[in-house]
Copies of this chain bind each other. A is one copy, B any other.
């Protein structure tokens, strides 16, 4: 096969370019195409869709991954995608994969996730994109089952493409591959974090806080959610979009169109 017919695959993450999870994903991606890695130079978990607009960005070519050109970037995961697409890559990539995240990004977690924000940014730029997360926070997590799942999803996306404006949020349960029942296409479960701000006192006597909390699913019994799928041994595959319009709410709000601003007193 001629070199130019191989897909060009951008790999990024939010745990940083030296995380074991991105090394696992590079290994998988290399079996499908030519890989360029552009990933944060430090952990960027919880960065959501942040971009760097009030400070500068740096990129450095680093020998971080065997068989793949790799760039370390000082910015957020979304910055990495913008830097890759607009500066570092020779052409628009055929696919962007993000992860494999050390930890879950199902349900409401997608909105806080740097891993998924990178995939969503790629989708905004018209690139088929997939974020992968393993339900295991450990730096020593076993990515072998996650790699099989990633290969399966990447193969499907390279074969069939994705609808315009849609990327995939793939979460893999912390199970051996033989225990995983398969892929399950599903929706984002309704859930939330119940915060518990851990209050402490520093050596100078000033108060500070750690943001912590526990996860609460609002619909643990609904069998069409990612939370349910993962709990029952499936790899969850949620199509995600960046159009945040609540289309179903447009009609009910139409009364606002008739509010006259000229009758309101200026304060």
Contact = CB atoms under 8 A, between A and B. Distances in A.
Interface of A: 27-28, 31, 43, 45-54, 56-59, 75-76, 78-79, 82-83, 85-87, 108, 110-112, 117, 120, 124-125, 144, 147-149, 151-153, 155-156, 160, 162-163, 165-166, 169, 177-178, 180, 182-188, 190, 192, 195-197, 199-200, 206-211, 235, 237-250, 252-262, 264, 266-267
B257 A183 contact: yes
Contacts of A163: 246, 248-249, 252
Contacts of A237: 253, 256
Tell me the dominant secondary structure on chain A's binding face.
mixed
A28 to B, nearest CB: 6
A196 B187 CA distance: 35
Contacts of A111: 49, 120, 124, 242, 244
Contacts of A117: 48-49
Contact of A259 (B27, B48, B156, B255): B156
A153 B260 CA distance: 11
Given A117-B48, A185-B253, A125 B209 contact: no
B177 A266 contact: yes
Nearest to A210: B56
Contact of A245 (B188, B262, B264): B188
Given A28-B267, A152-B259, A209 B252 contact: no
A245 B256 contact: no
Contact of A156 (B75, B85, B255): B255
Contacts of A86: 195-197
28 contacts: A28-B267, A47-B48, A49-B50, A51-B211, A52-B211, A56-B208, A56-B209, A87-B199, A111-B120, A111-B124, A111-B244, A147-B267, A148-B261, A148-B266, A151-B267, A152-B264, A160-B255, A163-B249, A166-B246, A182-B260, A183-B256, A183-B259, A184-B257, A187-B243, A190-B243, A237-B253, A239-B245, A241-B245
